[in-house]
Amino acid sequence: MPYAAKGLKHVPVDSYQEIEYLMKRGLANRTVSSARGNAAATSLAHTIAGIEFRQRSKGGASGEMYRLGVINLVDLAGTREAKPRKA
């Protein structure tokens, strides 16, 4: 992966179901607490997910060809449980 972060792991998968499982596991590990000046629950954790696609094909002058595609998903915003505001 082209980035580094404390605790970041590279986990090879073979199916969408494995990606979905890892994404759910990551969301469950987010830190949630109250922020300074705000009693509501706030998530201050950032999320980084990189998905690397590799395709191997036979043929050509070199015998095998590889294609590579990478999707990087980064959430730096955090979330807050907002209370409805009165008009």
This prediction has a pTM of 0.53
57 and 67 Cβ atoms separated by less than 8 Å: yes
- Percent of the chain with pLDDT strictly greater than 70: 64
**What pLDDT, on a 0 to 100 scale, did the predictor assign at position 18?**
92
pLDDT: which is higher, 49 or 2: 49
pLDDT exceeds cutoff 80 at 80: no
- Provide long-range contacts, Cβ within 8 A and 24+ apart, for 29-35: 35/80
Average pLDDT over residues 17-27: 87
Rounded to whole angstroms, how far apart are CA atoms 31 and 37? 18
Average pLDDT, the chain: 75
- Asked whether residue 35 carries a pLDDT value surpassing 70, the answer given is no
